[in-house]
């Protein structure tokens, strides 16, 4: 069995280059590509900004519940004493 050759490294570099170019083209055309994928039945999560006026009532309720959960987590974390205050000072 042979080790990694220069052909392996060339293939790896070409693969990385193709992936980078593909990602760049996708990000440049993301709204159009995502819309096309949704038409094909592929449900993609909305990344970043959401157009709330186009969501269904069920999606809006789910988003509301998610935000309420996040708010509750932040409020709970804010009420908890920090770990620095809990640590007892060490005496020498």
Whether residue 58 is contained in a domain is answered as yes
- Cβ atoms 20, 10 nearer than 8 A: no
Whether residue 86 is contained in a domain is answered as no
Same domain, 56 and 45: no
- Cβ atoms 44, 38 nearer than 8 A: yes
pLDDT tens-place string over residues 15-53: 999 999 999 999 999 889 888 988 998 887 766 666 788
Whether residue 75 is contained in a domain is answered as yes
- Cβ atoms 60, 52 nearer than 8 A: yes
Whether residue 26 is contained in a domain is answered as yes
Q: What is this structure's pTM?
A: 0.44
Residues 6+ apart with CB under 8 A from 60: 52
**Band of residue 2 on the pLDDT scale cut at 50, 70, 90:** confident
- Residue 27 sits at the vertex; the CA angle it makes with 52 and 48, to the nearest 5 degrees, is 30
Same domain, 43 and 65: no
């Amino acid at each position: 069995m042979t080790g990694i050759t220069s052909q392996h490294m060339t293939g790896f570099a070409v693969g990385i280059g193709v992936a980078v170019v593909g990602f760049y083209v996708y990000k440049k055309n993301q709204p159009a590509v995502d819309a096309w994928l949704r038409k094909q039945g592929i449900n993609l999560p909305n990344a970043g900004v959401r157009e709330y006026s186009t969501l269904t009532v069920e999606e809006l309720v789910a988003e509301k519940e998610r935000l309420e959960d996040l708010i509750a987590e932040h409020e709970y974390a804010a009420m908890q004493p920090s770990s620095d205050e809990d640590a007892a000072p060490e005496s020498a």
